[in-house]
């Protein structure tokens, strides 16, 4: 059986984004409950979190950003209309980024095969310079940067959160060692993630965006991920796969406008595992991002972690809306400029 680490540290629950905020601590209880009800908890290995070091954060973030968040420790600070810090948010944010770094190291050391980090606050909107969109530090980017610092030459970050991972895109915009692929509702928050945003300089082609109209469900997602994400991911042949696992494209999510089922999320994780099946030898670290329907989070987390453990799950409906064919053509046309594997 695969050795899979699971990190859910008490520090993550201490971050309070404010009264009535959808990104609330109960989300993590819900993840745990989902895994428990699916009978997965006994098969997971406890993975402790620890604070990310300043050096680890500075691989992604500016010193000004790291210092600004440190200065907010112990205080209530509002960063933007969506993003706020409570007295223990800084501690939680350090632990969230540190958990991902720790998972990356343990997987690369061969101590674990894969890991799932159920962290808060989420990370993929945090840019090198600023916190935004519920995110303080970019946990998955800090994890990818830790892998590069160890000498890895090819890493992939695959992002199926309903929102575009603008912060991760910004971090690796000119970096050919990191393939960043995101499918997301578009146009939607945060406004980035158009098809022609493909990276610049040496990083050109290594940012792959799949903007999708609201209402897409299992059929559309499964086609886009199997027919675009998988061949590009396999062509990059990463030595480690990181996944920004947001569950807000679930059909019950109050923020997202998509229609994925739990089984659909499982099918997306199957694609992530296929991409990890080459040079990575199955090494994969998944990191929680969004997901605000409690039923949806429990359902999706169970499907995703089940696949990470190597358990088969129910198949997803792979039949897309006929109108989606045109968008598939547009994805192929844009991304085959760099990825000939798309044909
Ligand atoms: Zn999201």
| Distance from the alpha carbon of residue 122 to the mean position of ligand 1, in angstroms | 9
Q: Is the separation of the CB atoms in 124 and 34 below 8 Å?
A: no
- Please, what sign has the CA dihedral across residues 153, 229, 101, 166? positive
pLDDT in tens, 131-187: 999 999 999 999 999 999 999 999 999 999 999 999 999 999 999 999 999 999 999
- Ligand 1 midpoint to CA 84 (Å): 16
Mean pLDDT, rounded, for 297-313 = 97
What's the 340 CA to ligand 1 centre distance in angstroms? 30
- Cα of 248 vs centre of ligand 1, distance in Å, is 6
Q: Is the pLDDT of residue 314 over 90?
A: no
**Torsional sign, CA 264, 343, 241, 143:** negative
The reply to whether 125 belongs to the active site is yes
Distance 124 CA to ligand 1 centre (A): 8
CA 43 to chain CA centroid, nearest Å: 22
User: Which run of H or of E encompasses 299?
Assistant: helix 294-308
Q: 3-class DSSP state for residue 170?
A: helix
Give mean pLDDT, residues 55-81.
98
Cα distance between residue 337 and residue 324, in whole Å: 21
Asked if the model's pLDDT at residue 240 lies above 80, the reply is yes
Residues 6+ apart with CB under 8 A from 63: none
Residue 103 CA to residue 91 CA, distance in Å, equals 18
Contact 228, 200 (CB under 8 A): no
Q: pLDDT value at position 1?
A: 85
Please state the rounded mean pLDDT for residues 94-108: 98
Distance 151 CA to ligand 1 centre (A): 30
Choosing from 61, 90, 124, 125, the catalytic residue is 125
* pLDDT given for residue 317 in this prediction: 81
CA 327 / ligand 1 centre spacing (Å) = 22
Secondary structure letter of residue 254 according to DSSP:
S
The average pLDDT across 247-261 equals 98
Q: In what order do the strands lie in the sheet with 240-245?
A: 44-46, 4-7, 114-117, 284-288, 240-245, 155-159, 178-185, 207-212
Q: What is the pLDDT of residues 118-135, one digit of tens each?
A: 999 999 999 999 999 999
Pick left, alpha or beta for residue 291 (phi over 0 → left; psi -120 to 50 → alpha; otherwise beta).
Answer: left
Distance CA 171, CA 126 (A): 9
Question: What gap in Å lies between CA 153 and CA 196, rounded to an integer?
Answer: 25
CB 309 within 8 A of CB 4: yes
The H or E element containing residue 143 is helix 139-149
**C-alpha distances in angstroms, 138 versus 36, 48, 95, 320?**
28, 19, 12, 33
State in Å: Cα 27 to ligand 1 middle: 13
Predicted confidence band at 343 (pLDDT cuts at 50, 70, 90)?
A: low
What pLDDT does residue 189 have? Answer: 98
Q: CA 123, CA 281: separation in Å to the nearest integer?
A: 26
CA–centroid distance, residue 37 to ligand 1 (Å): 24
């Amino acid at each position: 059986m695969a050795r899979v680490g699971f990190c859910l540290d008490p520090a993550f629950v201490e971050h309070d984004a404010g009264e009535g905020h959808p990104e609330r601590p109960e989300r993590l209880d819900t993840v745990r409950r989902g895994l428990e009800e699916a009978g997965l908890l006994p098969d997971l290995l406890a993975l402790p979190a620890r604070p990310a070091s300043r050096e680890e954060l500075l691989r992604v973030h500016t010193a000004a950003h790291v210092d600004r968040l440190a200065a907010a420790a112990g205080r209530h600070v509002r960063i933007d209309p969506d993003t706020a810090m409570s007295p223990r948010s800084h501690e939680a944010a350090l632990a969230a980024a540190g958990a991902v770094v720790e998972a990356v190291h343990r997987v690369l050391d061969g101590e674990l095969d894969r890991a799932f980090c159920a962290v808060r606050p989420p990370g993929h909107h945090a840019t090198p310079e600023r916190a935004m969109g519920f995110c303080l530090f970019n946990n998955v980017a800090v994890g990818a940067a830790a892998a590069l610092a160890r000498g890895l030459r090819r890493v992939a970050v695959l992002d199926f959160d309903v929102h575009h991972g603008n912060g991760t895109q910004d971090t690796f915009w000119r970096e050919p060692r990191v393939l960043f692929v995101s499918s997301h509702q578009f146009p939607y928050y945060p406004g980035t993630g158009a098809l022609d945003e493909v990276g610049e300089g040496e990083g050109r082609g290594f940012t792959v965006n799949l903007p999708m109209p609201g209402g897409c469900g299992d059929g559309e997602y499964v086609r886009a991920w199997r027919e675009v994400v998988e061949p590009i991911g396999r062509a990059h042949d990463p030595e480690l796969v990181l996944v920004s696992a947001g569950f807000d494209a679930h059909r019950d999510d109050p923020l997202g406008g998509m229609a994925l089922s739990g089984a659909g999320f499982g099918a997306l994780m199957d694609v992530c595992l296929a991409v990890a099946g080459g040079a990575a030898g199955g090494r994969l670290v998944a990191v929680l991002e969004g997901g605000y329907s409690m039923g949806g989070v429990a359902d999706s987390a169970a499907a995703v972690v089940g696949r990470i453990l190597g358990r088969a799950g129910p198949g997803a409906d792979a039949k897309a809306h006929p109108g989606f064919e045109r968008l598939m053509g547009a994805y192929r046309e844009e991304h085959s400029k760099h990825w000939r594997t798309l044909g």
